[in-house]
């Protein structure tokens, strides 16, 4: 978190086992599916180390696909066994670092909708029904290029904005046939966050983007 994580390269495998940080029920707090009851599968490790990263994703444990599915199914159900969450968000870290194709397919086969949150620098084929939300990152030499095979599959883009960090004060050109969200960067400073919110709201109105807020932080949930 806050860029202190180890940079972890992509790993190979058949996807039958994945390194998982946490599987938990929540409300999706940002992006196109905001407000929807969901189960998050937070995979361990990232190939980047952004200085503002607000997520703890180190120290995962290896889980079998069947075990992940069992956890998701249980957490998606109410006390009577009725499914009350049909959205599964696969996030990280960087989820495409691991072979997630089989997990996506298994979740879809079990009747879930699947959304992936990615930085766009690694891609693996996943079922066409998966929604991919791509939030490109800027390491100082410009935005890291989104892979063409990823770009073709992206359902929406999301860009962080900051008034203090000049790497995050613009939205680079991306596909025009998918929604583009702008989201104020959380800098853990009330004054900076207020400025970032005003900046993102202005940018949304001037450029026709959609404003994304981190609702889960307002609610104090994970």
Nearest residue (CB) to ligand SF4, 69 versus 95: 95
Using CA atoms, how far apart are residues 187 and 34, in angstroms rounded to an integer? 21
For residue 46, state whether it binds ligand SF4 (rule: CB under 6 A). yes
Using CA atoms, how far apart are residues 78 and 68, in angstroms rounded to an integer? 18
Using CA atoms, how far apart are residues 91 and 222, in angstroms rounded to an integer? 13
Nearest residue (CB) to ligand SF4, 33 versus 143: 143
Using CA atoms, how far apart are residues 159 and 174, in angstroms rounded to an integer? 11
On the CB side of 168, CA atoms within 13 Å amount to 26
Given 26, 32, 34, 55, the residue binding ligand SF4 (CB under 6 A): 55
Nearest residue (CB) to ligand SF4, 55 versus 105: 55
Given 29, 31, 60, 93, the residue binding ligand SF4 (CB under 6 A): 93
Contact letters (x/-) for ligand SF4, 98-127, by CB under 6 A? ---------------------x--------
Given 85, 137, 153, 158, the residue binding ligand SF4 (CB under 6 A): 137
Given 10, 25, 36, 53, the residue binding ligand SF4 (CB under 6 A): 53
Nearest residue (CB) to ligand SF4, 28 versus 73: 28
19 token code pair: 């390194």
- How many C-beta neighbours within 10 Å does residue 167 have? 16
Backbone angles phi, psi at 19, to 5 degrees: -90, 115
DSSP class of residue 129 equals T
* Interacting residue ranges for ligand SF4, rule: CB under 6 A: 46, 48-50, 53, 55, 92-94, 119, 137
């Amino acid at each position: 978190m806050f860029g202190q994580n180890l940079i972890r390269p992509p790993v190979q495998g058949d996807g039958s086992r994945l390194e998982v940080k946490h599987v938990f029920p929540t409300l999706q707090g940002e992006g196109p599916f905001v407000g929807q009851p969901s189960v998050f599968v937070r995979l361990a490790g990232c190939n980047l180390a952004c200085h503002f990263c607000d997520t703890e994703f180190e120290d995962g444990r290896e889980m079998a696909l069947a075990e992940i599915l069992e956890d998701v199914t249980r957490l998606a159900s109410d006390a009577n066994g009725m499914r009350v969450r049909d959205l599964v968000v696969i996030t990280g870290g960087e989820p495409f670092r691991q072979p997630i194709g089989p997990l996506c397919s298994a979740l879809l086969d079990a009747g879930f909708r699947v959304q992936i949150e990615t930085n766009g620098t690694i891609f693996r084929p996943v079922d066409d029904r998966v929604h991919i939300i791509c939030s490109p990152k800027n390491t100082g030499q410009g935005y890291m290029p989104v892979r063409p095979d990823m770009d073709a599959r992206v359902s929406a883009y999301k860009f962080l904005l900051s008034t203090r960090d000049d790497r995050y004060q613009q939205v680079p050109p991306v596909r025009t046939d998918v929604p583009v969200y702008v989201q104020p960067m959380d800098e853990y400073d009330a004054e900076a966050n207020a400025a970032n919110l005003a900046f993102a709201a202005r940018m949304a109105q001037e450029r026709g983007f959609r404003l994304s807020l981190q609702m889960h932080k307002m609610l104090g949930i994970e």
